[in-house]
């Protein structure tokens, strides 16, 4: 039987690469459900090619266009958040790849966990916003969560076969982004066009901006705490511009294991799909005849303050990571629309952290309220900036 996979966010960078993996291993995997928020034309093309059982468009104004375009096919067409939450629980679904961008991925992921579907987690905000809640839900339901982020997949791979061996440190590598060598003065005037040119990875706009500001790495630190059960002081970030070592684990005897590979997201996606097996893949290989220079630097949190703010939020706990995530989503959107400077994003996030209501032991309803409050504060701060 082929593994039936529901892809939340199939038209994004992770979703499209996941479909390439499914296409390469069509004897093993099928796309049972495909979803998108706005990109209806891409979703139509994907549906006609992969013939899923179900497609969902988040934006209800595009529902008729989608339904009419697929009227000649036996594909069920739905729209809205409720539909997203329902399709992940469909009986034939074996795995849910959560590749939606941002906070929107939280509720469908929770529903998939309740339905005991294996989670291939590419939506890091799910654990950033509500890590404690998600971990408890997964524990109660016996639901495995397999990381798809290249860094967390690397750590996961390094830990395979190490059951019972104490972790001393998780070392997350960061490329440093396009502004690694920029001064604060240069950072003050960078444009969105510059920020969207990542030196190593091909990603969507939001995650590319997060990578440039190092908020992405801050989110990965938060995610690592929940995925691997480590304290914040056991998670180290090291800048590795070549993006060949995807992350490392240091054990209590001082030994360090690293996972290496080309910067290609299809590898961690495929590993999540096939775990615990490894499958042949056509992806590029490292050539050590040309890859002769691997370097490491310490991150500069005075220039890239978002990383420091993320660590602060993780140390404070409660709903503070949710506040940071909401403020960051607002700031990235404002930066992409030329309403906020690159360095201004950190100022707004810090201001939102100071003003939003702190809750030490938040419920799901608290997270929903926190997200709304933090977005409102961030929007007001940008407007008054």
Q: What is the pLDDT at residue 151?
A: 96
Q: What is the pLDDT at residue 101?
A: 77
Domains, the chain: 3-147 (3.40.50.720)
Q: Are 10 and 96 in contact (CB under 8 A)?
A: no
Structure tokens belonging to residue 10: 């199939």
Q: Is the dihedral of CA 210, 325, 101, 106 positive or negative?
A: positive
CA dist 23 → 15, 50, 143 (Å): 12, 8, 26
Structure tokens belonging to residue 96: 């849910």
Q: What is the pLDDT at residue 99?
A: 93
Cα Dmax for the chain:
62
Rounded to 5 degrees, φ, ψ at 102 are: 80, -160
CA dist 41 → 46, 66, 228 (Å): 9, 8, 39
52: three-class secondary structure by DSSP: coil
| DSSP secondary structure letters along 219-255 | HHHHHHHHHHT--GGGEEEEE-TT--EEEEEEETTS-
DSSP state of 302: T
Tens digits of pLDDT across the chain (385 residues):
999 999 999 999 899 999 999 999 999 999 999 999 999 999 999 999 999 999 999 999 999 999 999 999 999 999 999 999 999 999 999 999 999 877 788 899 999 999 999 999 998 888 998 999 999 999 999 999 999 999 999 999 999 999 999 999 999 999 998 999 999 999 999 999 999 987 666 667 888 899 999 999 999 999 999 999 999 999 999 999 999 999 999 999 999 999 999 989 999 999 999 999 999 999 999 999 998 899 999 999 999 999 999 999 999 999 999 999 999 999 999 999 999 999 999 999 999 999 999 999 999 999 999 999 999 999 999 999 8
- Could you tell me which of 140, 136, 101, 142 has the C-alpha nearest to residue 119? 142
């Amino acid at each position: 039987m082929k593994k039936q996979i529901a892809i939340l966010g199939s038209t994004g960078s992770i979703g499209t690469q996941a479909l390439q993996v499914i296409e390469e291993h069509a004897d093993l995997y099928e796309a049972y459900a495909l979803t998108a928020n706005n990109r209806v034309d891409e979703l139509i093309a994907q549906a006609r090619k992969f013939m899923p059982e179900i497609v969902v468009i988040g934006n209800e104004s595009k529902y008729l266009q989608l339904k009419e375009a697929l009227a000649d096919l036996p594909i069920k067409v739905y729209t809205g958040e409720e539909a997203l939450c329902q399709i992940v629980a469909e009986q034939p679904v074996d795995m849910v790849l959560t590749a939606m961008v941002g906070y929107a991925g939280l509720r469908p992921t929770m529903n998939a966990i309740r339905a005991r579907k294996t989670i291939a987690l590419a939506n890091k905000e799910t654990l950033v916003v509500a890590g404690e809640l998600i971990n408890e839900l997964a524990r109660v339901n016996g639901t495995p969560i397999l990381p798809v982020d290249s860094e967390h997949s690397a750590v996961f791979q390094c830990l395979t076969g190490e059951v019972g061996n104490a972790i001393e440190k998780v070392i997350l590598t960061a490329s440093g982004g396009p502004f690694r060598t920029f001064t604060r003065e240069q950072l003050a005037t960078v444009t969105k066009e510059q920020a969207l040119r990542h030196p190593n990875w091909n990603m969507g706009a939001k995650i590319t901006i997060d990578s440039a500001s190092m908020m992405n790495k801050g989110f990965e630190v938060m995610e690592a705490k929940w995925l691997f059960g480590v304290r914040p002081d056991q998670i180290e970030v090291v800048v590795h511009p070549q993006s060949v070592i995807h992350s490392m684990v240091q054990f209590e005897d001082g030994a360090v294991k690293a996972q290496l590979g080309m910067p290609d997201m299809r590898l961690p996606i495929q590993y999540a799909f096939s775990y615990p097996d490894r499958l042949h893949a056509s992806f590029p290989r490292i050539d050590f005849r040309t890859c002769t220079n691997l370097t490491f630097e310490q991150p500069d949190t005075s220039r890239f303050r978002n990383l420091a703010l993320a660590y602060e939020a993780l140390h404070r706990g409660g709903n503070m990571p949710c506040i940071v995530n909401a403020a960051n989503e607002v700031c990235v959107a404002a930066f992409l629309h030329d309403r906020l400077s690159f360095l201004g994003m950190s100022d707004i996030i810090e201001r939102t952290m100071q003003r939003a209501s702190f809750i030490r032991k938040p419920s799901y309803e608290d997270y929903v309220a926190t997200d709304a409050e933090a977005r409102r504060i961030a929007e007001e701060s940008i407007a008054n900036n």
